[in-house]
Structure 1
């Protein structure tokens, strides 16, 4: 049982699990109240701000990865996305009838007009661009100071993933790229993204940050990287893969 209070998840002390055995009587919403089709998720409950538990602490989802590992992060992330969606999606957007959990899948149905609704998923690309043995890294204004990462952005209607990669790189740093290859993916529950990773090679242009999202950008050698994201996201996996491949060449 995962117990959420807003965006925080209840975890035990330094030795304990973040799974709790019992459903709190104060639960506002709980997946156990939904049909059987929802029960293959890790069970979750949402509690109010006044709920407390002794011998425990509240962690954000990133902390779950560091303390309990990737599998725990994935389970908690999936539960969080459904919990957050169920909290905000309460009424039909067409006829305002209260929605009900569907019997046949993890969707919601409107008993008034019969429409079905499903948890949103927002695809986004993230790309490691290389040039002559160097990696393009940039500082996003929303990142911690002096932390650099590879470029990323959301897919727009009508685009293929490859078109999004080209557009985002062009918009953010003004260069053209080629040799786009798929790398891997990661569910990213902040709040409901699917990150699709790619590698690419520089073709032309000088990397100049757009000044809107990015305020700094540059090409970095594998042995002279700046402060980069910690090892929990696909951005770091892309960076580590670049370093590994450069090391193999040498």
Structure 2
């Protein structure tokens, strides 16, 4: 994956539908553009793909830039009309927002906060196969923060709902923008406090305790789930004296 020079747009006759300034990449201004999908890209020069296809295959900062581009383009496309009165929305010239002139509604880019947590029990990690994930792929638990909840309350609730366990000693790890489609993942560690695994069949196909030296296939380090797992395994493998 590489960033394209601006002259490519004019040279190849692309019709730009939407355009957003993203910031600077190596001191050069960078924009996200959406071109008319009726334009046929030359397969000898370009490969059409998705964010999933580049996850873990490009440097983290470049993936974050691509994710930001996708989120902004999707947000503008999904807010062409006001959700209150139905009138067309206009891009605000002074800030990143869509405005409805008739009724005054302002829509900013949407971010959905989520918690993602690695539950541990000594040398064991609780990992689950989500019903929407490929068979054999195990990851950490995760869930969206609901209105009125704190991140910590969401974590405790989601673990109880998805696998029936009680947890405590919550420790924040770090956050990650996750553009599938517009999440902000808040990573935590949590320690097992009690209960037996009982999977919610609508969410979890399987959940088990895995020893840190015998893990199944897990997410790549490019994801906060993979980083949570890697961090804990490294801490167990190289204990501080």
TM-score under structure 2 length normalisation: 0.89
Equivalence map 1:113-152=2 (5 Å)? 113-152=103-142
Q: Does 1:231 align with 2:221?
A: yes
Deviation at 1:28, TM superposition (A): 4.6
**Partner residue of 2:160?**
170
- Matched residues in 1 for 2:128 and 2:58: separation? 30
Is 209-218 or 23-32 further displaced after alignment? 23-32
- Matched residues in 2 for 1:244 and 1:194: separation? 25
Contact 1:124 1:154 in 2 (8 A): yes
- Matched residues in 2 for 1:100 and 1:218: separation? 50
Contact 1:27 1:45 in 2 (8 A): no
Alignment coverage as a number of residue pairs: 230
Contact 2:22 2:69 in 1 (8 A): no
Aligned Cα RMSD in Å?
A: 1.8
- Matched residues in 2 for 1:21 and 1:120: separation? 28
Q: Does 1:84 align with 2:67?
A: no
**Partner residue of 1:70?**
60
Q: Residues 173 and 66 from structure 1, CA distance in 2 versus in 1: closer, same or farther, beyond 3 angstroms?
A: closer
- Matched residues in 1 for 2:160 and 2:189: separation? 15
Deviation at 1:94, TM superposition (A): 1.8
Deviation at 1:78, TM superposition (A): 0.6
Q: Does 1:243 align with 2:228?
A: no
Deviation at 1:221, TM superposition (A): 0.8
Is 55-64 or 215-224 further displaced after alignment? 55-64
Q: Does 1:49 align with 2:49?
A: no
Contact 1:177 1:203 in 2 (8 A): yes
TM-score under structure 1 length normalisation: 0.86
Contact 2:163 2:197 in 1 (8 A): yes
Deviation at 1:98, TM superposition (A): 1.2
**Partner residue of 2:15?**
27
Deviation at 1:45, TM superposition (A): 1.6
Structure 1: which 5+ residue stretches go unaligned?
1-10, 12-16, 33-37
**Partner residue of 2:23?**
40
Contact 1:127 1:199 in 2 (8 A): yes
Is 159-168 or 111-120 further displaced after alignment? 111-120
Deviation at 1:39, TM superposition (A): 6.1
Structure 2 SS opposite 1:238: helix
Contact 1:31 1:39 in 2 (8 A): no
Structure 2: which 5+ residue stretches go unaligned?
25-29
